[in-house]
Amino acid sequence: MTARQRENAGGPASSAAPEVSGAFERGLQRGENPQVAGADGPASTTLDSRWLGTWRRPGSQRRAPCRVCGHTFRRDDTVFLRHSAEGRLSDVTHHLRNLPCSGQVPPADPPDPHAQAAFFRGVDSTDPSPDTLHTVRLMPGSPALGSRQQRNACFVCTHTFRLFETVVVCPCSPADPGCLKAVHQDPARGLGCFEQWRSELTVDQCPMNFRTLKRS
């Protein structure tokens, strides 16, 4: 709707009743992303979701991860939306059993990380990854995970590392790591970031500090 159309409809948008402007804002959201109803409650993350890429909370200049767990939002993540009285999106939190950040996840026994770790150790021993990739699985306490206040992220997909994902540590020299930086290599989760990034197992420039690597 143009400014002239708004004036003909009864004045500028700022003079509209709160319920009218709120309904208009929610309608815009439905138009941008038909998967989202523009109302408080659960929603699935799609490529059109505002919170997937550059969305920022009101008053913030930073890309907004989940304020509870600190993880980025990924495609297909179920989230919980909250809107202001004016209908604007004001908060997005994860709404998953393993990331119950919304506080609205149906009651269920939380997953036991120790039992999950034992399961993945069994998976890895039964079906190990190719030695040439030198992948490691992120177990509880892994430094690559970071903390809730400061999550570490993959430099290819820019998403934070989550528990039990597989990564390549020190992508410049995975056979003899010289740092604790990591990049995703987890095709089962659609995260083949390491193979996407490198054309061969060695590279000439470190992607972390951009220094030229010494080669013998």
CA distance 103 to 96: 10
Mean pLDDT of 170-197: 86
Residue 139 has pLDDT above 50, yes or no: yes
Helix or strand holding residue 81 (H, E): strand 78-83
Q: Are 166 and 185 in contact (CB under 8 A)?
A: yes
- pTM here? 0.73
Residue-wise pLDDT for 57-98, tens only, equals: 666 555 678 999 999 999 999 999 988 877 778 899 999 988
pLDDT bucket at 119, cuts 50 / 70 / 90:
confident
The residue with greater pLDDT, 187 or 202, is 187
- 136's CB contacts (< 8 A; 6+ apart) are 166, 167, 168, 169
